Structure 1
Amino acid sequence: MRKDPFKPAARVAGQRQDVWSIVNEAALASPVQPITNLGQGFFGYNPPEFVLDAAREALGKVECNQYSPTKGRPRLKKAIANAYSPHFNRMINPDTEVTITTGANEGMLSAFMGFLEAGDEVIVFEPFFDQYISNIEMPGGKVVYVPMTPPKNGATQTTSAGEWFVDMEVLEDKITDKTRMIVLNSPHNPVGKVFSKEELQAIGGLCVKHNIIILSDEVYDRLYYVPFTRIATLSPEIAALTLTVGSAGKNFYATGWRVGYLIGPEHLIKYVSAAHTRICYSSVSPLQEATAVAFERADEEGFWDDSKKEMKGKMERFNEVWDELGLPYSIPQGGYFVLVNLAKVKLPADYPFPDHVANRPRDFKLSWFCIMELGVAAIPPTEFFTDANAHIVEDWLRFAVCKEDKILESAKERLRGLRKYIK
């Protein structure tokens, strides 16, 4: 009998409704409008004017409105090499060690497509950015999870995100003959942890020992509030195994531009580029040109220091509300997300949660409740854990502070409404 032509592939069939659609649907249905959206990590304001001017100018150039070379526009690759060479303590070759991708996410997919065969294993730390999982499974890879352990007193006291840790013995026990890659994220989403030099040295040492490729997701690499180490800088042996992922969208407040990039040795980058060519051939030309100008001018505009100072200030001012309410949180070391523990918030026993929320962990109920009753959207972080380890964060919510100050102040005022539910 002929196979059902409308049967979806297993990789997309039978998946639970994703957290983004649940939160967005709840936001639309909330009686409290307009919603103060601190859920998804998109910026609530435009890129700086010098970046927007570069985009406008690029749109007027004929060559910028046609296909770019599959590996990226030469001007952008050179600008990235120049911007990152001082941070890598060596000269990066823009022609052989940089490739441009359609966002960091497609860049990571290209890395997995470039190296994974069916059955190859990839180690991922929990919590994880959810796109990692589908990107690994698409080419037939198997995800092997290693949980990060939160601070022992994180549920009762405000602690540093740096206190979340990886047990290196557990990590090494997960390594097998099939382990092909490991995914590292620093600064980390959603925890906000910046991995220390000692932690990175231990992870890098294991990868050298077992000959494992390191895919280092560093998309928040310009937003760190403690010393930040790039794993590729620790030794030539570690550098030879490392692909560093970056995001112009995160760097320049333009997540919709979808301009990402990978930096690494030629023997790795060329296969990422080959996969990228097969996936989408090339990335958006005028926005590549604008990103090149952004990198070229960022230092003279004082943009990097201003950006870091501004985001740290937003984080500190927003977190004042948790201090007021006596709710513990994890102080971020980087990025623009904060995890807050709401174990003290007692939800009404008879609250009418819909089935698709009632059947999920408590953080989904907390998220739904905050949207419906307070008009503030936040993300339940169990979405970034396996079911077995979801209990670690079922009392937490993730808030994004990359919004205008007036939005953050509105959120603080609304969140004070939790006071009557705190017991």
Structure 2
Amino acid sequence: MSQLPPQFPWQRAATGANLLSPDGSLGVTIFEEMTTLALSTGAINLGQGFPDEDGPVEIKEAAQAAIAAGANQYAPGKGILPLREAIAVHQERFYGLAPDPRTEIIVTTGATEAIAASLLALVGPGDEVLTFEPFYDSYGAIIGLAGATHVTAPLLAPDFMPDMTAFEAAISSRTKAVLINNPHNPTGAVFPRAVLQRVVDLAARHDAVIITDEVYEHLTFGEPHIPVATLPGAAGRTVTISSAGKTFSFTGWKIGWLSGPEHLVAAIRTVKQFLSYSSGTPFQSAIAVGLALPDEFYTGISETLKRKRDILSDGLRAAGLDVFTPQGTYFVNVDTAPLGISDSVDLARRLPELVGVAAIPVPVFCHAEGAERTRSLLRFAFCKKTEVLEEAAARLATLRDRL
């Protein structure tokens, strides 16, 4: 079944990441293509953003203990209470927020399900959803599935701060939800308080819900993470989403969560029960243990990632690329224009053979106009072992000579 009707909702919303051919047939995603190229050439895969080593041993042991103790059947649809309580304590500990674990928190199958359930519950045909651009690739597809219209406002290099004039022009009475990813994938930007407060004020003016994707909340480098829900005027209209995958390096467990006002959470829970219903029970117990880890763990992961960021960035600069230093996440973006290359999609397809490293072109995170604006940008992931990044940096340093 390679053919889909052109009116299929997610197909209408598909971005370059979906690589649909002109006749509407379904191709593989760029992520799958880059992974295949990396495997076939023996390249180091810095395209997909997942770590190559596990997180804390005490979390793994907690999962093993839960399995051995028989926690292997369905969890409650909104998640086991100990994890919901741990999430509430985490929000209070780091941000001073106090969601009720019984009515204002849901455990989800990763942050992706939390985003999907939120959009499917809160928007529909005739509504608009406003995001920054570039945007995480699932946003466009889920907005399309909901039957809503995806509107964007650009993030501008080199710091990838939003064009707030464009954002203000893009929001309107048709905007039902503003979806904000902060820290931001794929750019690595961490938005300051003034930017976030302006988003809140505009959302309030137009009576829009705010959905925040904060999965990289603990992966910032010298910049504080500010949850939107902590800002004046935000709490009553904001759904906050995060997950265990990025913080604890257990992306395969797919344990995420969301919190927010009871009426919004109840609506989202109604949709979530018809998606996955329930997520890995023993993993939920283990993540509750992880959320209680001491402050040294949380500061340590950002310090380690910052060193890895700098190792990879040095190799990218040696290659002659213009490096945009990220303030958060585990992605670094570069401009290929200094090498005389304007098509990052073409270069991404050549990189594994040229230097033995795979990356993702930033235009696939954009609609057509944004893709043109970012057409010379590439994204590399640095959530890998130090020795792997050192080897990747050495390979990338030879790029200019190999072109």
Q: TM-score, normalised on structure 2?
A: 0.92
Q: Deviations over 1:201-232 (max 9, x none)?
A: 11110011111111111000001111221111
Q: Is the 8 A contact 2:10 2:140 kept in 1?
A: no
Q: Is the 8 A contact 1:54 1:294 kept in 2?
A: no
Q: Is the 8 A contact 1:81 1:93 kept in 2?
A: yes
Is residue 167 from structure 1 mapped to residue 163 from structure 2 by the alignment?
yes
Q: Is the 8 A contact 2:59 2:289 kept in 1?
A: yes
- Please name the residue that 1:312 is paired with: 306
Looking at structure 1, the residues matched to 336 and 117 of structure 2 have their Cα atoms a distance apart, in angstroms, of 38
- Please name the residue that 2:189 is paired with: 193
Q: Is the 8 A contact 2:78 2:269 kept in 1?
A: yes
- Please name the residue that 1:24 is paired with: 35
- Please name the residue that 1:292 is paired with: 288
Name which of structure 1's ranges 319-328 and 73-82 shifts more when overlaid on structure 2: 319-328
Secondary structure in structure 1 of the residue aligned to 2:339: coil
Is residue 127 from structure 1 mapped to residue 134 from structure 2 by the alignment?
yes
Q: Cα distance, 1:345 vs. partner?
A: 2.5
Looking at structure 2, the residues matched to 149 and 90 of structure 1 have their Cα atoms a distance apart, in angstroms, of 31
Q: Is the 8 A contact 1:381 1:394 kept in 2?
A: yes
Name which of structure 1's ranges 14-23 and 44-53 shifts more when overlaid on structure 2: 14-23
- Please name the residue that 1:263 is paired with: 259
**Percent identity of equivalent pairs:** 35
Looking at structure 2, the residues matched to 164 and 7 of structure 1 have their Cα atoms a distance apart, in angstroms, of 35
Q: Is the 8 A contact 1:192 1:335 kept in 2?
A: yes
Looking at structure 1, the residues matched to 369 and 57 of structure 2 have their Cα atoms a distance apart, in angstroms, of 46
Secondary structure in structure 1 of the residue aligned to 2:348: helix
Looking at structure 1, the residues matched to 375 and 272 of structure 2 have their Cα atoms a distance apart, in angstroms, of 37
Is residue 373 from structure 1 mapped to residue 367 from structure 2 by the alignment?
no
Matched residues, number = 387
Q: TM-score, normalised on structure 1?
A: 0.87
Secondary structure in structure 2 of the residue aligned to 1:240: helix
- Please name the residue that 1:99 is paired with: 106
Q: 1:405 aligns with which of 370, 386, 398?
A: 386
Q: Cα distance, 1:7 vs. partner?
A: 5.8
Taking the TM superposition and a 5 Å limit, the aligned residue runs for 1:42-121 are 42-62=50-70, 64-121=71-128
Letter in 2 for 1:45: E
Q: Is the 8 A contact 1:97 1:266 kept in 2?
A: yes
Q: Is the 8 A contact 1:88 1:232 kept in 2?
A: no
Name which of structure 1's ranges 127-136 and 166-175 shifts more when overlaid on structure 2: 166-175
Taking the TM superposition and a 5 Å limit, the aligned residue runs for 1:347-366 are 362-366=343-347
Looking at structure 1, the residues matched to 87 and 259 of structure 2 have their Cα atoms a distance apart, in angstroms, of 9
Q: Is the 8 A contact 1:119 1:178 kept in 2?
A: yes
Q: Deviations over 1:240-297 (max 9, x none)?
A: 111111011111101110000001111211111111111121111111111111112x
Letter in 1 for 2:117: S
Q: Deviations over 1:299-357 (max 9, x none)?
A: 17x2111111111111112211233344221111111000011213356xxxxxxxxxx
Q: Is the 8 A contact 2:354 2:399 kept in 1?
A: no
Is residue 386 from structure 1 mapped to residue 367 from structure 2 by the alignment?
yes
**Structure 1 gap segments, 5+ residues each:** 152-162, 348-360
Q: Of the two, which has the highest radius of gyration?
A: 1
Is residue 142 from structure 1 mapped to residue 153 from structure 2 by the alignment?
no
Letter in 1 for 2:123: L
- Please name the residue that 1:154 is paired with: none
Q: 1:90 to 1:27 in 2, by over 3 A?
A: closer
Q: Is the 8 A contact 1:345 1:421 kept in 2?
A: no
Secondary structure in structure 2 of the residue aligned to 1:65: coil
Q: Is the 8 A contact 1:58 1:286 kept in 2?
A: yes
Letter in 2 for 1:145: T
- Please name the residue that 1:252 is paired with: 248
Is residue 11 from structure 1 mapped to residue 22 from structure 2 by the alignment?
no
Q: Cα distance, 1:421 vs. partner?
A: 4.8
Is residue 395 from structure 1 mapped to residue 367 from structure 2 by the alignment?
no
Letter in 2 for 1:233: T
Letter in 2 for 1:285: T
Secondary structure in structure 2 of the residue aligned to 1:66: coil
